[in-house]
Structures are given as C-alpha cells and as structure tokens.
Amino acid sequence: FSSSYRPKSEQRKDSHWNAEETGEFVVNICTEELKDQMNTTSAPVAREVDEFARAGLTPARCRNVKAPRIAESPVSLECKTFQIVRLPSKTGHGNVMVIGEVVGIHISAGILKDGMVDMDKFRPLARLGYWQYTVVNNAFWMEPPEA
C-alpha cells in the first residue's frame, strides 16, 4: 500500500507506523458500500484515536498476524512487512510504499460465485487521481494469446 509521509516532521499515517513497528499489517479491500467509512479513516487524527470506532467499523481477529482486520470488508489480506520504500520528496510531503508478503486471506462467501470472486457482488473501489475514485463494476476476461 502507499501512504503519505512528511519526512521533516516524521508525521505518518497509522498504517505506515504499524507496518514499520510491528512488521505486520492487513489490507482490507474497500467496497462501494464502505466508501464513507474509508474516507473517515483517512483523516489525520492522533495515534491514540480508535479509527475503527470513529468510522463505525468492527475489528475482527486475524489468523496469522496480530493486527485486526475490518469485519465489514469482504476481502482482507493478512501481511508481513517485507520492505518500506520512502519515495523522494522535494516538497516535504512525500509517500511511502509498504510492500508485504500475504500470509492469510479472508474472502466473504457472499461475494463468491462458482468458487471465484464475483466483481458485480464485490464492487471494490479503485483510486484514480487527485481525490477521485471509481467502482470496479465492469470486469471482463481477456486471456493472453498463445505464442
């Protein structure tokens, strides 16, 4: 995942702090239904603020990492931190890229069809540019050609 970072002040988002300090994190895939809660958790609040409670979300236990996942998210990936890359910034407001190894996956049965994730049921959000997002609701198959 990517997160904002202010190198001069060491100001970071909680997800970045947690991945760095504990060596673990959870990627909870946001859906159209959870977009407002996701936006609430993006506020720059103090570390001691319970963002689950603030956004009206329910923490759920993971199997392989200590970090909680979001119970309302239909897909969660339990991860071990592999590498954190601080991207250079000339403005004092940069980004970090946190790379992890997926060690556990949670997928809600409610978004499965014939054993596969049904994108029409899932409707995950995707970040575009600026403050724009889109809903993935028009997935299609396109297999690569044979050599």
pLDDT at 44: 80
Position 90 scores a pLDDT of 77
Look at residue 4 in the predicted model and tell me its pLDDT. 76
Q: What's the pTM?
A: 0.88
* pLDDT tens-place string over residues 4-39: 766 555 566 778 888 999 999 999 999 999 999 999
Q: What is the 3-state secondary structure (H, E, C) of the chain?
A: CEEEEECCCCEECHHHHHHHHHCEEEEECCEHHHHHHHHHHCCCCCCCCCHHHHHCCCEECCCCCCCCEECCCCEEEEEEEEEEEECCCCCCCEEEEEEEEEEEEEECHHHEECCEECHHHHCEEEECCCCCEEECCCCCCCCCCCC
Query: How confident is the model at residue 12, as a pLDDT?
Result: 65
* pLDDT < 70 stretches in the chain: 5-12, 92
Q: What is the reported pLDDT for 5?
A: 66
For residue 8, the model assigns a pLDDT of 56
